Amino acid sequence: MICPKCANEKTYVTDTDKSGPIVERIRRCKACHYVWRTKEIPVFNLMDTEEIKAYETYIAQSLTEIKK
């Protein structure tokens, strides 16, 4: 991934949170040492209606479990 601050192409992941339905990563630039967060979310237009419903149910259950 390109650094959002200096556009350097050499960046790396320092931490990954896969505990919920959305994967979050902490990234760092090798040139300017800027640190930022990214989120990976599904793109629903490649899924059919049943898959979207199943995923929404999964998210709702995951969020309920996180709150416990």
**Shortest separation between residue 32's beta carbon and Zn ion, angstroms:** 3
Token couple for 23: 């994967």
In one letter, which amino acid is 56? E
Which residues have CB under 8 Å from 10's CB, separation 6+? 29, 30, 31
Over the window 6 to 45, marking each residue x when it contacts Zn ion by CB under 5 A and - when it does not, the resulting string is: x-x--------------------x-xx-x-----------
Token couple for 51: 């898959």
Q: Which of 5, 10, 39, 53 binds Zn ion (CB under 5 A)?
A: 5
Binding residues for Zn ion, rule: CB under 5 A, are 3, 5-6, 8, 29, 31-32, 34
